[in-house]
Amino acid sequence: MITYCTNIHPGESWQDIFTAISRNAPVVKERVAPGEPFPLGLRLSGRAAGEMTLADARLFGNWCREQGLYVQTVNGFPYGTFHHVPVKESVYLPDWRFVERLEYTDKLANLLSIWLPEGMTGSISTVPVGFRTAIAPEDFPIIEEHIRQALDLLDRIAQKTGKRILLSMEPEPGCVLETIHDVVDLFDRLDLTPAQRSFLAMCFDCCHQALQYENPSESLRLLAENSIKIGHVQISSALRLFHHDIGRLARFQEACYLHQAVGRRSDGELVRYHDLELAIKDAPVDMEEWRVHFHVPVYMNQTDDCDSTRFFLEEILPLFPSEVPLEVETYTWTVLPPDLQTGTVTDSIVREILWAEQARSVK
C-alpha cells in the first residue's frame, strides 16, 4: 500500500498536526483504499514529539484504528519549523553532533512502538549525519557514538515490546551522505555490532538519488551487495532541465527551502550548488543537463519550463521489494508555482498515490 508523508501539511504543535491529519488522511484513504487498512507516513516535529504524552499517543493510536489507519513510518528528519518560514540549512539541525537529535529519535521510536502494528517493521527517517559544510573531521567520534546509542535504544525497544524499528539515514544533496557510495562508506565506518547493524537502514528518497544521476538498478544492487536495508522509500521527483541556462528555472527560487542544483557536463562531471539561487548566479555555460531539488508532483512529467525526474520513478518503483513501505513526499505544495497547484492538496495527494501505484505495477 502506497501512502503519503504528512509533512505536506503545515503544523508544528501536536494539536495542529492532528487537526491536519484528521482533516485530510481519512479523505485520502477513502479515495485510494476504501475498506482497507491504510498507512500514514507521519511527520512529528521536535515540539510535537515533546508535547505528546503517553495518553495522547494511546488516544491517537485508537483514533487511527477507528479510521482504518496505522503508522509504520515516521519522518524524523525535520526537527524544527518546516513551513512558512525560511528553513534552508537549518532543516538539518540539530544534526547527529547534538544530543538533542538522539533524544528526539528516542522519543519518536518509543511513540512508534505504541502505534506500529504487530508483525510489521517500522522505520524512522533521519538527517544524513548533517550538512557537509557544518561537519568537521573532529565531529565524527561524537556523531558515531550518538548513532550507536540510537541503535542500542532501538534494540532495547525491540527486546521490551517485540517491535522492530529501523533508523533510516536519508541521503540528501549537500550533506555528509549524498550518494549510495556515501551510505556504504558510513555503514563500514561505524564499526557496529551485529545487533546494532540490524537496526540501521537507509531511507531512499527518489528525488535525492535522481539528483546524483544514479542508475536505479545499480543503486539497489550496491545496497543489496552491502547488506544495507531500505527502511522506507520516499516517492519524490525533481526538476530536470536539458539546457545550460539554469536561469530558466528562476521562478522556482523561493525563500523557504534549499533547492540544491546539480549540473552535468558532457563528459559526466557533476557540478554542485547548495541552492538554485547560487547556481543561477554562478553556473558555467557548458552544462548539458541540470537537476534541481524541488519536489514536484510525481505524476508531472513536464512543466512549461522543464522536465522532471519522473523517469527515475518509473524505472525504480517496480524494483523495490514488496515489503518496503512506500510514501509520496511532495512537501513543497505551499511553495509550488500556482499553475502547478492543480486542484486541492488532497486532490494532488490522491492523484500522486494513484499514479505511483500504477507505475509500481509496470514490470
337-346 per-position pLDDT tens digit:
999 998 899 9
Task: Give the pLDDT confidence score for residue 301 in this predicted structure.
Answer: 95
Q: What grid cell was written down for 125?
A: 527517517
* Of 253, 249, 246, nearest in space to 277 by CA: 253
Q: Each residue of 285-320: pLDDT tens digit? A: 899 999 999 999 999 999 989 999 999 999 999 999
b/e burial code for range 277-306 (CB count within 10 A of at least 16 → b):
bebbeebeeebebbbbbbbbbbbbeebeeb
Q: Which amino acid is at 203?
A: C
C-alpha grid cell, residue 45: 516535529
10 Å Cβ neighbour count for 117? 14
| pLDDT, average across residues 198-224 | 98
Tens of pLDDT, residues 47-80:
999 999 999 999 999 999 999 999 999 999 999 9
- pLDDT at position 362 is 83
Domain CATH number, residue 160: 3.20.20.150
The grid cell for 1 is 500500500
* Contacts of 191-195 spanning 24+ positions with Cβ under 8 A: 191/144, 192/148, 192/151, 195/151, 195/155
The yes-or-no verdict on residue 190 having pLDDT over 70 is yes
Tell me if 314 is assigned to some domain. Answer: yes
What's the pLDDT score for residue 82?
Answer: 84
pLDDT of residue 342: 82
The mean pLDDT of 139-151, rounded to a whole number, is 98
Give me the sign of the Cα torsion angle 144, 100, 330, 229.
positive
pLDDT band at 358; cut points 50, 70, 90 = very high
d(CA 148, CA 197) in angstroms, rounded, equals 9
Rounded to an integer, what is the distance from CA 202 to the centroid of its chain?
A: 10
CA distance 335 to 338: 8
Q: What is the rounded distance in angstroms from the CA atom of residue 26 to the CA atom of residue 245?
A: 43
pLDDT, mean of residues 328-343: 92
Residue 296: inside a domain, yes or no? no
In a domain, 176, yes or no: yes
Residue 242 domain flag? no
Instruction: For residue 284, tell me if it sits in a domain.
Output: no
- Mean pLDDT of the residues in the chain: 96
pTM value is: 0.97
- Predicted local confidence at residue 363, as pLDDT: 64
**CA-based nearest residue to 178, from 156, 147, 220, 209:** 209
Q: What is the mean pLDDT of residues 193-217?
A: 98
- Backbone angles phi and psi of 53, in degrees to 5: -90, 170
Domain assignment of residue 278, yes or no:
no
Domain that holds residue 144: 2-236+305-361
Mean pLDDT of 114-141: 97
Q: Is 244 contained in some domain?
A: no
CA distances from 60 to 85, 275, 280 (A): 28, 38, 45
Could you tell me which of 138, 142, 129 has the C-alpha nearest to residue 187? 129
Which grid coordinates belong to 71? 503508522
pLDDT band of 133, cuts 50, 70, 90: very high
In sequence order, what are the beta bridge partners of 201?
Answer: 168, 229
pLDDT score for 283: 85
By the 10 Å C-beta count (0-12 exposed, 13-18 middle, 19+ buried), 363 is classed as: exposed
Neighbour count for residue 240 (Cβ, 10 Å): 22
Task: Identify the pLDDT of residue 277.
Answer: 95
Instruction: Tally the domains of the chain.
Output: 1
Give the chain's length.
Answer: 363
What integer pLDDT is reported at residue 136 of this predicted model? 97
Q: What is the pLDDT of residue 273?
A: 96
List residues bridging with 131 in a β-sheet: 175
Q: What is the pLDDT of residue 284?
A: 86
